[in-house]
Amino acid sequence: MRALLVEDDEMIAASLRQGLAREGWSLDWAADGLSGERALADGAYACVLLDLGLPGQEGTTLLRRARARGDRTPVVVLTARDGLDDRVAGLDLGADDYLPKPFALRELLARMRAVVRRQGGAAQPCIGTPQLQLDLATRELHLPDGRREPLSAREFALMHALLERPGAVLARAQLEQRLYGWDDEVSSNALDVLIYGLRRRLGADAIRNVRGLGWRVSTQAPGTPGAPANGLAHAAPPTSGHGRD
């Protein structure tokens, strides 16, 4: 999944980028409040990690302006301002969680998973359909036959995007925004390679192509009468480029 970090400390940013990458997150970094506001307005992020003491524009200003324009991206405030009044002010402005510095990466990851779950309306650690359940903590896909399929970072990000709104069609540009950060080099058919690989492992009906529009996961069990046919059921594998996993 893709997150935005708004933080002026380069060492913290580098450490978080490395740590979150190991857990399947693609992290974009903005070093000041104004850059962070522009990035948030332009990007499609699962969540935002926001420092309050920022150059150019305070984190509280960024948060207030984002909520005023209707942006509901989950925000976890990361700050050394850990007084009660600071925590209350941040939450009242629209933050979803508040984590004082210094913090443990494991706790941050758990809080990120929690705010993302709540954003999708899920209280449980899994999202999806009766046929496909994605475990946000273990990054495994639970299949109808009882198997638990481990996913790579990119596979997890893709399935999270699709299973967050089962049945909704997501265009190529929407999916690429969710999977790839600013520093990622993405070949033209990287998404096709990723989807092809997943469909080989999960079955052709797991991810359906809606011709000319994009992809979706079915909300019906395979073989259900009236279930739409899969436009890519017999598609050949992509033949050029290499998708990054």
Residues 82 and 115 reside in one and the same domain? yes
- 96 occurs within a structural domain: yes
In DSSP terms, 2 is beta-bridged to: 26
- 221 occurs within a structural domain: no
Residues 7 and 114 reside in one and the same domain? yes
The CA distance from 87 to 184, in Å, is: 34
pLDDT tens, 210-222?
Answer: 998 999 997 765 5
The CA distance from 22 to 94, in Å, is: 29
Residues 9 and 107 reside in one and the same domain? yes
- Lookup: tokens for 166: 């089962």
Residues 73 and 162 reside in one and the same domain? no
- 98 occurs within a structural domain: yes
Residues 99 and 193 reside in one and the same domain? no
Model pTM above 0.85: no
Domain end: 87, 119, 151, which one? 119
Residues 134 and 107 reside in one and the same domain? no
- Lookup: tokens for 131: 């046929």
Q: Predicted confidence band at 25 (pLDDT cuts at 50, 70, 90)?
A: confident
pLDDT tens, 155-187?
Answer: 988 998 898 888 899 999 888 888 877 766 667
Residues 38 and 137 reside in one and the same domain? no
**Dihedrals phi, psi of 154, to nearest 5 degrees:** -70, -40
Q: In terms of residue numbers, what domain contains 181?
A: 126-216
- 13 occurs within a structural domain: yes
What CATH number does the domain containing 53 carry? 3.40.50.2300
Per-residue model confidence (pLDDT) at position 171? 93
Strands (E), 51-150: 75-79, 97-100, 126-128, 133-135, 140-142, 148-150
52, 44, 55: which is closest to 4 by C-alpha? 44
Buried/exposed code over 7-39 (b: 16+ C-beta within 10 A; e: otherwise): bbeeebbeebbeebeebbbbbbbbbbbebbbeb
One-letter amino acid identity for 13? A
- 44 occurs within a structural domain: yes
- 234 occurs within a structural domain: no
Domain end: 103, 119, 135, which one? 119
Per-residue model confidence (pLDDT) at position 123? 53
